[in-house]
């Protein structure tokens, strides 16, 4: 009997997620063979000994009895109200609990927001480099990601003039990731104000991914985009995964603010999609009020002497000692995005380098090209390991780069 191959959706041809791709699969094989892999490809705090605050765990446990039924499609009221209180504390005064949608992580929220909006051929401005889920979600929902460049020679800051030139009649939204994943860049108020004006002038929706908003170093300041966007719709994305080290809880949310009178149909569409998936994970939602209203332990981790601060410094020092690498020091988030001086090599490819590092030193990183950039001489690694482990990692990286010089 002739057997037909199971066909895949052609839309997946434009989708990539190398963070969990070929390299991660090879790392899994090596672990099954008994090798110990230092996995720096994903920002997953629980794998490195970070714990979710105990008060959040207790809040979940104490409310398990109320977590067995479906909740409202937008989420439980205490969680949504806690998000409102946080937003109002930051100067976003025009929001209520009705403007908040709880999701199974920010990932689901991104999909809901884009699926409710995009028709075939619609364009969304996306940063390059980006967190690849944004590009993938635009493509999966029949849109077209149009990249504005955040170049290393400009400290990974976007250029408003380029953004303005990229807007077309098909542009429906612009994505901002601030603090940025993968680069750690943090955007100034002046830059964000200019981008807000571009969005307002062209009546495009601002999608502001602020999942790392309290993960800041030195004098860096995070400016909530919703405080600057008034005359068009602003969707702010946040959650428990990073700041509160609760990735497995799968709790994220969207807060809609700004001009909503002309977005009524769109917001109804988001609610329809939220209803079709019934509701987000209920037990995790009970941790939101405690998380947002309680002691913000992230500040202990990011201040001088804190674990994240020290690991970040170990990366900065490791690059400074290298004869091959450069770095725009990350001001936020839990990643660094070093570059490699390709003039020192006959040929350099980030994917091949990452595989050599994995095979030789059992260190797993994410090639920079995974983040939708046109160059192939960067890589991303997370700052989550302890500083001493980072020092060892950069010794390994230097040794592998040395081995590749004459190839």
For 9-54, write each residue's pLDDT tens digit.
Answer: 877 776 766 667 789 899 999 999 999 999 999 889 999 999 999 9
For 374-398, write each residue's pLDDT tens digit.
Answer: 999 999 999 999 999 999 999 999 9
- Verify that 88 and 202 share a domain, yes or no: yes
Taking a C-beta distance cutoff of 8 angstroms, is the pair 67, 274 a contact?
A: no
CA distance between the termini of the chain: 50
Question: The domain spanning residue 244 has which CATH number?
Answer: 3.40.640.10
Q: Is residue 347 part of a domain?
A: yes
Q: Which of 293, 328, 361 is the last residue of a domain?
A: 293
Q: Is residue 193 part of a domain?
A: yes
Q: Is residue 5 part of a domain?
A: no
Answer left, alpha or beta for residue 389, where phi above 0 means left and psi between -120 and 50 means alpha: alpha
The pLDDT, as a whole number, for residue 3 is 81
Q: Is residue 384 part of a domain?
A: yes
Pairwise CA distance, residues 188 & 80, whole Å: 28
Query: Domain residues for 374?
Result: 10-51+300-404
Instruction: Return the percentage of the chain with pLDDT > 70, whole number.
Output: 98
Q: Is residue 2 part of a domain?
A: no
- Verify that 325 and 348 share a domain, yes or no: yes
The pLDDT, as a whole number, for residue 407 is 56
The pLDDT, as a whole number, for residue 170 is 97
Q: Is residue 144 part of a domain?
A: yes
The pLDDT, as a whole number, for residue 270 is 96
Phi, psi angles (nearest 5°) of residue 169? -60, -20
Q: How many domains does the chain have?
A: 2
Question: The domain spanning residue 330 has which CATH number?
Answer: 3.90.1150.10
Which residues in the chain show pLDDT less than 70? 14, 16-19, 406-407
């Amino acid at each position: 009997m002739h057997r037909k191959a199971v066909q895949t959706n052609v839309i997946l041809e434009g989708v990539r997620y190398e963070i969990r791709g070929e390299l991660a699969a090879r790392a899994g094989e090596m672990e099954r063979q008994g090798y110990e892999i230092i996995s720096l490809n994903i920002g997953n705090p629980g794998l490195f000994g970070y714990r979710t605050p105990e008060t959040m765990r207790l809040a979940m446990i104490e409310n398990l009895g109320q977590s067995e039924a479906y909740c409202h499609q937008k989420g439980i009221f205490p969680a949504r109200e806690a998000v409102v209180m946080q937003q109002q504390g930051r100067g976003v005064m025009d929001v209520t609990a009705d403007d908040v949608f709880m999701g199974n992580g920010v990932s689901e929220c991104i999909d809901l927001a884009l699926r409710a909006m995009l028709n075939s051929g619609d364009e969304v401005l996306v940063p390059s480099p980006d967190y690849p889920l944004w590009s993938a979600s635009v493509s999966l929902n029949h849109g077209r990601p149009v990249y504005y460049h955040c170049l290393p020679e400009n400290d990974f800051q976007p250029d408003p003039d380029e953004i303005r030139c990229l807007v077309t009649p098909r542009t429906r939204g612009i994505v901002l990731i601030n603090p940025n994943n993968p680069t750690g860049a943090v955007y100034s108020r002046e830059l964000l104000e200019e981008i807000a004006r571009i969005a307002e002038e062209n009546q495009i929706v601002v999608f502001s991914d602020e999942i790392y908003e309290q993960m800041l170093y030195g004098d860096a300041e995070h400016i909530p985009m919703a405080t600057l966007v008034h005359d068009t719709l602003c969707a702010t994305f946040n959650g428990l995964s990073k700041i509160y080290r609760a990735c497995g809880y799968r709790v994220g949310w969207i807060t809609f603010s700004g001009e909503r009178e002309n977005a009524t149909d769109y917001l109804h569409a988001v609610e329809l999609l939220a209803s079709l998936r019934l509701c987000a994970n209920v037990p995790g939602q009970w941790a939101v009020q405690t998380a947002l209203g309680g002691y913000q332990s992230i500040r202990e981790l990011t201040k001088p002497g804190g674990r994240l601060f020290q690991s970040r410094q170990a990366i900065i020092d490791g690059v400074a000692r290298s004869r091959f690498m450069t770095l725009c020091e990350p001001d936020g988030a839990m990643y660094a995005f070093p570059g490699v001086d390709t003039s020192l090599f006959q040929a350099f490819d980030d994917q091949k380098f990452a595989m050599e590092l994995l095979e030789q030193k059992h260190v797993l990183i994410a090639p920079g090209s995974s983040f939708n950039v046109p160059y192939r001489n960067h890589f991303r690694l997370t700052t989550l390991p302890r500083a001493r482990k980072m020092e060892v990692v950069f010794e390994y990286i230097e040794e592998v780069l040395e081995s590749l010089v004459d190839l």
